[in-house]
Amino acid sequence: MTISLDYSNMMGDIVAGGVSADDWRGATNNFSTVRAGFERRRAAGELGFLSLPTDALLHRQSTDFAARVRGRFDDVVVLGIGGSALGPIALRTALLAPAWNSLSNEQRGGQPRLHVLDNVDPHTIGALLGRLSLERSLFVVISKSGGTAETMAQYLVVRERLTAATKDAKEHLVFVTDPAKGALREIAKAERIPALDIPPAVGGRFSVLTPVGVLPAALVGIDTKALLAGAAELAGKCAGTELTSNPAGLFATLEYLADTKLGRHIHVLMPYADPLRDLADWYVQLWAESLGKHRSPADGGVGPTPFGALGATDQHSKVQLFMEGPPDKTVTFIAVRELGSDIVIPRLHSDVKELGYLGGHRLGELLSIEQRATAGALARRGRPNMTIHIDRVDAHHLGALFMLLEIATIYAGELYGVNPLDQPGVELGKQFTYAMLGRADAEQARQEWNLLPKPDARYSWGS
Active-site amino acid positions? 289, 316, 430
Phi, psi for 207 (deg, rounded to 5)? -100, 10
Instruction: Measure the CA–CA gap between 247 and 239, rounded to whole angstroms.
Output: 9
Residue 281 binding ligand PA5, by CB under 6 A: no
Rounded to whole angstroms, how far apart are CA atoms 91 and 62? 15
Q: Which is nearer to ligand PA5, 158 or 331 (CB)?
A: 158
CA distance 143 to 69: 21
Q: Is 88 in the site for ligand PA5 (CB under 6 A)?
A: no
Kindly state whether residue 87 participates in binding ligand PA5, applying the rule CB under 6 A.
Answer: no
The answer to whether the bond into 400 is cis (omega within 30° of 0) is: no
199 contributes a contact to ligand PA5 by CB under 6 A: no
Count residues near ligand PA5 (CB under 6 A): 14
Quick one: DSSP state of residue 345? P
DSSP 52: G
Does position 145 interact with ligand PA5 (CB under 6 A)? The reply is yes
Q: Does 413 bind ligand PA5 (CB under 6 A)?
A: no
Among candidate residues 414, 417, 384, 390, the one with its CA nearest the CA of residue 403: 390
In three-state secondary structure terms, 333 is strand
Gap between the Cα atoms of 231 and 54, Å rounded: 9
The residue range among 14-22, 50-58, 78-86, 155-163 that interacts with ligand PA5, by the rule CB under 6 A, is 78-86
Asked if 143 touches ligand PA5 (CB under 6 A), the answer is: yes
Q: In a 3-state reduction of DSSP, which class is residue 179? A: coil
CA distance 237 to 28: 17
205 is a contact residue toward ligand PA5 (CB under 6 A): yes
Least spacing, CB of residue 250 vs ligand PA5, in Å: 24
Q: How many CB atoms lie within 10 A of CB 318?
A: 20
Rounded to the nearest whole angstrom, what is the least distance from the CB of residue 291 to ligand PA5 in the complex? 12
- The window from 44-52, 76-84, 90-98, 310-318 that contacts ligand PA5 (CB under 6 A) reads 76-84
* Consecutive H or E run containing 25: helix 21-43
How far apart are CB 187 and ligand PA5 at their closest, in Å? 14
Q: Does 204 bind ligand PA5 (CB under 6 A)?
A: yes
Query: Residues 290, 408: contact at Cβ < 8 Å?
Result: no
The SS3 of residue 270 is: strand
Closest approach, Cβ 62 to ligand PA5, in A, equals 17
Number of Cβ within a 10 Å radius of residue 431: 18
Is residue 151 at the binding interface for ligand PA5, with CB under 6 A as the rule?
A: yes
Q: C-alpha dihedral over 392, 398, 404, 405, to 10 degrees?
A: 120
Of the two residues 83 and 275, which places its CB atom closer to ligand PA5 in the complex? 83
Stretch in the footprint of ligand PA5 (CB under 6 A) among 46-54, 79-87, 392-400, 435-443: 79-87
By CB under 6 A, tell whether 154 contacts ligand PA5: no
Q: Write down the least CB distance from residue 129 to ligand PA5, Å.
A: 20
Look at residue 104 and give its three-state secondary structure: coil
Candidate list 9, 62, 63, 84; residue touching ligand PA5; CB under 6 A: 84
Q: Which residue is nearest to ligand PA5 (CB)?
A: 204
Q: How far is the CB of 164 from ligand PA5 (least distance, A)?
A: 25
Residues 416-445 touching ligand PA5, rule: CB under 6 A, are: 423
Q: Does 406 bind ligand PA5 (CB under 6 A)?
A: no
Residue closer to ligand PA5 by CB (options 89, 379) is 89
Distances (CA, A) of 291 to 9, 183, 328, 427, 462: 24, 29, 17, 16, 38
List interacting residues with ligand PA5 (CB under 6 A): 81-84, 143-145, 148, 151, 203-205, 289, 423
